[in-house]
Amino acid sequence: MENTVKTDAQAGLRRYCDDYLETNGHRPLAYVYSFGCQQNVSDGEKLKGQLSLIGYEFTDDNEQAQLIIFNTCAVRENAENTVYGAVGDLKHLKEKNKDVIIGVCGCMAQLEHVAEKIKASYRQVDLVFGTFAYDRLYEMLYTVINSKKRVFELSERVSEISEDFVQIRDSRIKAFVPIMYGCNNFCTYCIVPYVRGRERSRKPEAVISEVRKLISEGYKEITLLGQNVNSYSYGFPELLREIDKIEGDYWIRFMSSHPKDATHELIDTILESKHICKHLHLPVQAGSDRILKLMNRRYTAQDYLKIIDYARNKKSDFSFTTDLIVGFPGETQEEFEMTKTLIRRVGYDNIYSFVYSRRSGTPAAVMPDDTDDKTKGLRLRELLLEQRENTQRLFSRFLDKEITVLVESKGRQMQLAARNTEGIIVEFDGDDSLIGSFVTVRINKFANWALFGELI
C-alpha cells in the first residue's frame, strides 16, 4: 500500500512538471540549500536526485525557484537562528508568488519545538519534515501541490536503508559517501542521536559498489561519512581494506572517528593502504578527564594519547586534527589549561574549536554553569593563538619537499588551491585545467593556514 501511494504521488508530480513545462516553456526550478555537515550535504544531493526524477531542474537563485527547500542543521542553536533568518527572508517571495512552495527539512526540522515555531510564526512555509521522512518526499510534496495544505512530518519511523537513490552531486572532484546513519553515543552536549536516531549501517557491498562507480566516473577524493565511522557494524577497517583494493587514481578520507573506538587496527590499515589519506580527524573535545566524563565521551585524556602515540611510533609525522569545545558547563580555568597542554602534547595540524553552545533537550543543557560568556570567548581566543604557534612549527616539516596534492579550485593568494594527503591547503601558480588532477608541488613557504609552492 505504501509503495502504491509513493508511485501514485510520483506519477502525479511528473504530470505537474510536464504541465508546468507546457504552460511556462521551462520545467519548474528547485532551490535546495544544505546547512551544516557533510552528511547534510549528501542528504541534500539525494533530495535533488529525487526531484530530478519527477522533472524538476535546479537553480542557485531562490528568486527564480518554484520550490525552495532548506536542509537544516541542529548541532548548535546559532545554526537554528541562521535558518530562521533565511526562512524569514522568503516571506516576500510568498507574497509575490503564492504558488512557490517553501520547505524546511533535516535535523532542525526533526525537533518538535522547531516545527511548532515554524507552524505558528512562519506561515510562508508549506512543508516541514525530519530526517526519517526523506523517502516520503513525493507523497508530502504532492499533498502540498494538490491540496494547498501545509504538511508537517516528524514521525520517527525507521525503515531499512534504501540503496535505490539518484544523487546529484555538487562537485565533480570530491564525493561524500555515507556508510552509516545515526549515533548511539549520547554525548551530553549533542542533539544528533535525538534527531537522527540509532546507528544503522549500510551493507559493505552497497558502499563498495558506490565507491567503485564514483572512481569509474573520475572522482578523485571520496569521503566516507558516519557520526562515528568506527562503529560501522560490518567492521570499518575491513571496509577500508576492501575499498583500497579498487584500482584507480583516487584518495579515500573518512569522518568522524570516535576515540573510544579508534583501534590499532584502524591506524595500521591507514598506514598500509595505497589510497587512504595519512591523516585522522580524531575529536578529543577536552583535555580534562572530569569534563570528558561530564560529556559522556567514555575515554580519558591518557586513553586518547595512547592512540596518538601508537600512530606516531609507526609514522612520526602522522597527521591529526581534532574538535574542541571551550567553556563546557562547569569547566574551570585549570581544566581549560589541561586542554592547552593536550594540544601541545599532540601537535595537531589543525583544530576546530567552538565555544560550548547550549542545546535544548540534551543533558548538558541543564548542567550548572557559572562561567560567563566573556571568559569563554577569551579562552577560545587563547586556544586559537596556541594552535597558531603549533601550526607554524608543524607546517615547517614540508619546506623544500615535493608533495602530491589534489587541485580543487582557484586559490586565495596564488592561482590554484589544492590539498595534500594530510588535508592541508596548498596554493601554487598553474593553469585552471589542472583543477581535478593530482600534481606534484615543491613547498617553499607556509603561513598558519596553508602551504605555498611551485608546480613540478
Closest CA to 117 of 79, 76, 170, 80: 80
Q: CB–CB of 319/278 below 8 Å?
A: yes
Q: CB–CB of 286/325 below 8 Å?
A: yes
- The C-alpha cell at 105 is 527539512
Q: Alpha helix locations (H) across 279-401?
A: 289-294, 301-314, 333-346, 373-395
Helix, strand, coil shares, percent, the chain, to 5: 45, 20, 35
For 127, the enclosing helix (H) or strand (E) is: strand 127-129
Q: CB–CB of 287/340 below 8 Å?
A: yes
Give the length of the chain. Answer: 456
Closest CA to 416 of 429, 397, 399: 429
Q: Alpha helix locations (H) across 218-369?
A: 236-244, 264-272, 289-294, 301-314, 333-346
Per-residue confidence of the chain (456 residues) as pLDDT tens digits?
456 667 889 999 999 999 999 999 999 999 999 998 899 999 999 999 999 999 999 999 999 999 999 999 887 777 788 899 999 999 999 999 999 999 999 999 998 889 999 999 999 999 999 998 898 999 999 999 999 899 999 888 776 787 888 899 999 999 999 999 999 999 999 999 999 999 999 999 999 999 999 999 999 999 999 999 999 999 999 999 999 999 999 999 999 999 999 999 999 999 999 999 999 999 999 999 999 999 999 999 999 999 999 999 999 999 999 999 999 999 999 999 999 999 999 999 999 999 998 888 899 999 999 999 999 999 999 999 999 988 988 999 999 999 999 999 999 999 999 999 999 999 999 999 999 999 999 999 999 889 999 999
DSSP β-ladder status, 451-455 and 425-428? parallel
Q: CB–CB of 40/106 below 8 Å?
A: yes
CB atoms within 10 A of CB 136: 19
Q: Alpha helix locations (H) across 1-132?
A: 2-24, 38-53, 77-88, 91-96, 112-121
Coil, helix or strand at residue 146: helix
pTM (predicted TM-score): 0.93
344/338 Cα distance (integer angstroms)? 10
Positive/negative CA dihedral, 73, 76, 82, 87: positive
Q: Residue 224 forms beta bridges with which residues?
A: 177, 254
Q: What's the pLDDT score for residue 5?
A: 61
- The C-alpha cell at 171 is 562537485
Q: What's the pLDDT score for residue 335?
A: 98
Q: CB–CB of 71/103 below 8 Å?
A: no
Q: What φ, ψ does residue 2 adopt, rounded to 5°? A: -60, -40
Q: What's the pLDDT score for residue 250?
A: 98
Quote the Cα angle for 349-354-357, to 5°: 155
Listing DSSP states for 367-412 in one string gives S-----HHHHHHHHHHHHHHHHHHHHHHHGGGTT-EEEEEEEEE-S
* b/e map 255-272, b = 16+ CB within 10 Å: bbbbbebbeeebbebbee
State which amino acid sits at residue 78: N
- Find how far residue 367's CA is from the centre of its chain: 28
Q: CB–CB of 456/442 below 8 Å?
A: yes
Coil, helix or strand at residue 81: helix
202/282 Cα distance (integer angstroms)? 22
For 351, the enclosing helix (H) or strand (E) is: strand 350-355
Closest CA to 70 of 84, 51, 54: 84
- The C-alpha cell at 62 is 531562490
> What is the residue whose three cell numbers read 502540498?
144
- Domains of the chain listed by start with CATH number: 2-153 (3.40.50.280), 171-277 (3.30.750.210), 280-397 (3.30.750.200), 399-455 (2.40.50.140)
Coil, helix or strand at residue 32: strand
Q: Residue 176 forms beta bridges with which residues?
A: 223
Q: CB–CB of 155/129 below 8 Å?
A: no
Q: What's the pLDDT score for residue 309?
A: 98
